[in-house]
Amino acid sequence: MTKETSPLLSIIIPSYNQLEGLKETLNAFSKFRSKHVELVVIDGQSSDDSPNWMRENEASMDCFKIESDKGIYDAMNKGVALSKGQWVVFFGTGDLPTEDGFAELIRILEEGPDTEVLAFGVHLLPPRESGVPEFYQPVWNASLKWRNTLHHQGAIYSRTVLRNDPYDVRFKVLADYHLNLKLWKRGVKCTCFDTVISEATPGGVSRTFTQSLYSEERALKRNIFPSLPDQIAQHVFTRLKWLKKQLS
C-alpha cells in the first residue's frame, strides 16, 4: 500500500472488558471514517461479550484483533503493527473526539506537517483527581524530565516512529511517558497545538498514585537519564510528589 492510498490516520483502541465504552468510542468516530481514517481495535481476550460483539459488528471497525496480551502497551504495539495509517493516535474505551478539534487535526495532517509528533489539548472529564486540571495542554521541552507533558489521547505519532520505537512493555503503567522522554532526548520534533481534540474519561492505572507508580517513574527515568545526579534529583522529586498526593 502506497503513501497515497494508505489511510491518513489510524485510531487504535485497546480494549479489555469494556464493551459499552468501546461502542461509545466507535460510534463517536463513525462520522470521521473515510479513506483518511481507519479504526483499529485490539481486544485482550475479554471475558465479557466484547469478542462476540466485535465479530458481529465488523463493519464498525476497519480491522481488529482478539487475543491475550501482556498489558495495555503490548496491545498498543499490536495495534501499530496492524495499522496502515501514516499517523497514529490512541484512544481508550469511552474516550471521545471533539468534533471541531478532530476535524482540525485531520486538516493539519492533510497539509503534511513537517514533524514526527503532534500534540493537542485534552479535556479531562470529571471526576478528576485532586490537582488534575480540566484541560491538559501539551508542552515539548525540558519540563518532560519532571512530568509527562503530553496527554496520551492528544499525542499523534508518525507510524514510522512507533514502528522503530515500540512501547517498552517492561513499564506497565508509564510506557508512554518513557517513549516521550526517549524521543525528546533524541531531538525528535514535536509540534504542539492548543486545539482540544479529545475528551478523556477519568480513571486509568496511571491515575492511581501509589508508591509503585512513582517507583516505575524512577525506573524509566534511570533508563533515559542514567547519571547519578539525575537519579538523585528524580528520587527526591518523585518522593516529594508522592508525599504531596498523600496530603492532598
Domain boundaries, the chain: 9-206, 209-248
Question: What average pLDDT does this structure show over 230-240?
Answer: 91
Q: In terms of Cα–Cα distance, which of 71, 110, 60 is closest to 87? A: 110
Q: Which three cell numbers stand for residue 131?
A: 490537582
Convert the pLDDT of each residue in 167-191 to its tens digit: 999 999 999 999 999 999 999 999 9
Contacts of 190 (CB under 8 A, 6+ apart): 115, 116, 117, 118, 119, 138, 140, 150, 183, 184
Size of the chain in residues: 248
Kindly indicate the confidence band of residue 205, based on its pLDDT and cuts at 50, 70 and 90. low
Q: What confidence score (pLDDT) does residue 129 get?
A: 72
pLDDT higher than 60, residue 136: yes
What are the C-alpha distances in Å from 58 to residues 3, 49, 157?
25, 14, 26
pLDDT over threshold 90, residue 115:
yes
Average pLDDT of the residues in 23-29: 96
| Percentage of the chain modeled with pLDDT above 90 | 80
Least-confidence region, from 92-101, 126-135, 142-151: 126-135
What's the grid cell of residue 233?
534529583
Residue 216: all three cell numbers together: 516505575
Q: Which three cell numbers stand for residue 211?
A: 508508591
Residue 96 has pLDDT above 50, yes or no: yes
Quote the pLDDT of residue 162: 97
| pLDDT for position 6 | 85
Which ranges in the chain belong to alpha helices (H)? 19-29, 50-56, 72-82, 99-110, 159-164, 175-186, 211-224, 228-247
Residue 166 in this model has a pLDDT that exceeds 60: yes
Its pTM stands at 0.92
Residue 204 is given by DSSP the state -
Measure CA 109 to chain center: 18
Q: Which fold has domain 9-206?
A: Spore Coat Polysaccharide Biosynthesis Protein SpsA; Chain A (3.90.550)
